[in-house]
Structure formats: structure tokens, C-alpha cells
Amino acid sequence: MRTLKDLKQELMENPEFVREYEALEPEHQIARQLIALRLARGLTQADLAARAGTRQVSISRVETGATVPTLPLLKKLARALDAHLEIRLVPNEARSP
């Protein structure tokens, strides 16, 4: 039986797939960080939404990668999580392989 890991490894051999996969990395980073901090704070999506003045479905969409959050939403989420928002541009030559 083929596993998800096997499928990903196979797909990563396709340069077009790799380009698309890497293009989505910023969205995945936001989702992972949002989920991790929300859980570390002991909050449900509904709790976070109430604190941020938005709807639970908005939190869900960001966490699942179904939508790209706006900068104003990210600011609200950061405040609601008692965190600060940090956005960086990193030159490609500074990226680790």
C-alpha cells in the first residue's frame, strides 16, 4: 500500500509540482504558525474568532489554506493571540536548502 509520504516523494520528482508546492509555502507557514499558537494558548477556532472580531469560518479557512489572509486580518489575529506580526523578505541566496 502506498503511503502519503511515498506519494509526496514521487510528486517531488516533478519540477512543475515542486515549483507549485514551493509557491504555497508562505500560506502553509501562516497556517502552521496560527494553529500552533492558537493551540498553545488553549483556544478553539471559535475562541480566537471572538477575540479577533471575526467569524470561526475565517479562522478555519486560514488554517486549512483555503484562503490567503489579508494583512488586516493577520494583525487582528496577532493581537488576539497576544503576539506580534513579523513579515520578512529573505533573499533567495540566504535560504537554507
Model pLDDT for residues 17-72, shown as the tens digit of each residue: 999 888 888 999 999 999 999 999 999 999 999 999 999 999 999 999 999 999 99
Report how far residue 24's alpha carbon sits from residue 48's, in angstroms, rounded to the nearest whole number.
24
Largest interatomic CA distance in the chain: 45
Please state which architecture CATH assigns to domain 12-83.
Orthogonal Bundle (1.10)
Compute the average pLDDT of residues 70-87.
96
C-alpha cell at 88: 520578512
**Cα gap 40→21, rounded to integer Å:** 27
How far CA 64 is from CA of 13, 36, 54, 57, 88, in Å, comes to 25, 13, 16, 10, 22
In the chain, what are the domain boundaries?
12-83
